[in-house]
Every structure is written in C-alpha cells, then in structure tokens.
Structure 1
Amino acid sequence: MSKSLNARCIRRWELQMRDVCDSKINPWWRKRDLRGYIRECGLITAYCMVERMAEDNAKVDFQGDTFSWSPEFSAWYDERRDHYLKEARDYLNEEATTDEIDEEIQNELEAWND
C-alpha cells in the first residue's frame, strides 16, 4: 500500500459519511464537516486498530493466548509498549485491507448508536 493507515482510514470515513453530509438529505451535516470531525474519526480509527493489534500481540507473547489484563502483564507491557506499537503500525500500514478498515468503522458507528 502506498498510503498510510491514517490516510486510508480518513478516506474510508469520508466515503462512509459522504451521503450523510449531503445537504439534500441531512439538514445538520454539511460537506465542510468532513474536514475536521471526519478527519478526527479516521485518526481515532487508525489509532484504535494499532493499539488493539499491539495489545493482542503482547498478550500472545506474554502468556500465550490469554485475553485478560493482570498487574504482571500491565507492568511487562508498559516496558515494551513502544516496540509493539511500532510493530503493529508498520504491519497495518502495509497489510490492512479496506474491508478491515470498513469493519472497524462499522463497529464504531454501532457503538455510537448504543
């Protein structure tokens, strides 16, 4: 992929919200809203994807396939956080698919409706 994860997430949010921001459909949202608010949503999506992958990889390295945080894991992960974040960011910049990004966006939109 030639574009970073951040740029692809922002673009996918813009495409997702394009129809919502049409003044013929929605009296509240406008295309100008895409610049700030939607950009921020894209950056948050990318950040969450990187954080989750880093934490999952660290959990596997720490004790195998475990899904709970313990004080021991927390201390261990704090020392190695930067390494796992860099590794996850590098991987997702190259390997994240549009479908994965769209799925993450859908998860966030569903969370908004809760």
Structure 2
Amino acid sequence: MPISVHYGLTVLIWGLTWTAIRLQVEAAPVDISVFYRFVMASVVALLVVTLVRRLEKLTLKQHGWLVLQGATLYSINFLLIYRAAESMTSGLLAVVFSLAALFNALNGW
C-alpha cells in the first residue's frame, strides 16, 4: 500500500476521533467512557501481541511501572481531554491535543 494511503487513513482516523469523543461525552459519563475505551484497547492489544507471539512475562516491578505510565500518559490525560470535550468544540480540542507532540519533544530535549 502506498505511503499516501497510510497517511490518508491516519488523517481520517485522527480527524474523526475528536468528533467521536464529542458524541461520546454527550451520551455517557466521562469516567465510564474513558474506562470502556481503555478496556477495549487493552483487549485488542493483548489479542494482537498474543497472536503474533510477542507477549512477554513481566516482573511485578515492571507491572507497577506500566500501571504508572498508563495512568499518567493515557488515563489521566484522556480523562482531562474528555472533560474538556464537554465544553469545547471538537476542532479546538484536536488543536489543543496536538500540542502534546510539541510538549513531548520539549520534555525529551
């Protein structure tokens, strides 16, 4: 598949995400929405790594580290984004969220 198709799919999916979040916060409580989103993503990720035989055994310490990363990089982040979606337009929300890449680059530097 040409790279332009991959790019187009990425733009399409990324663009529709914010509209979906906006619709989701109108239909269900934010905490429940984020919880279900990450449960579904976890199940899909677990299935994929199991099917491609890349699932590794982790120590208890590694599990703790992954829980901490998941909470700080994803869960809390998305809870705040979903809360913001209750009072912002999806376009503005997408612009604000895209700044995360800039902040990640600055923090990495």
TM over 0.5: no
TM-score normalised according to structure 1 size = 0.27
Q: Which structure's residues are more often helix, by fraction? A: 2
